[in-house]
Copies of this chain bind each other. A is one copy, B any other.
Amino acid sequence: MGTRARAGNRLAAREALAQRVRGWAHLPFDPARCPVRSVLDQLGDKWTTLVVLVLTQGPHRFSAVQRAIPDISKRMLTQALRDLERDGLVARQVFPTTPPSVEYRLTPLGESLLEPLGALIAWAEVHMAGIVAARAGFARQRTARPAGA
Q: Chain A residues in contact with chain B, CB under 8 A?
A: 10, 13-14, 16-18, 20-22, 29, 31, 35-41, 43-46, 49-50, 53-54, 56-57, 70-71, 85-89, 109, 111-125, 127-128, 130-131, 133-135, 137-139
Contacts and interface: CB of A to CB of B under 8 A. Distances in A.
Nearest to A72: B31
Given A17-B56, A119-B119, A120-B119, A127 B114 contact: no
Copies in the complex: 2
Nearest to A120: B116
B134 A87 contact: yes
A74 B139 CA distance: 23
Contact of A13 (B13, B54, B115, B123): B115
Contacts of A46: 37, 40-41, 44
Nearest to A18: B56
Contact of A21 (B16, B29, B38, B53): B53
Given A38-B131, A44-B43, A131-B88, A17 B121 contact: yes
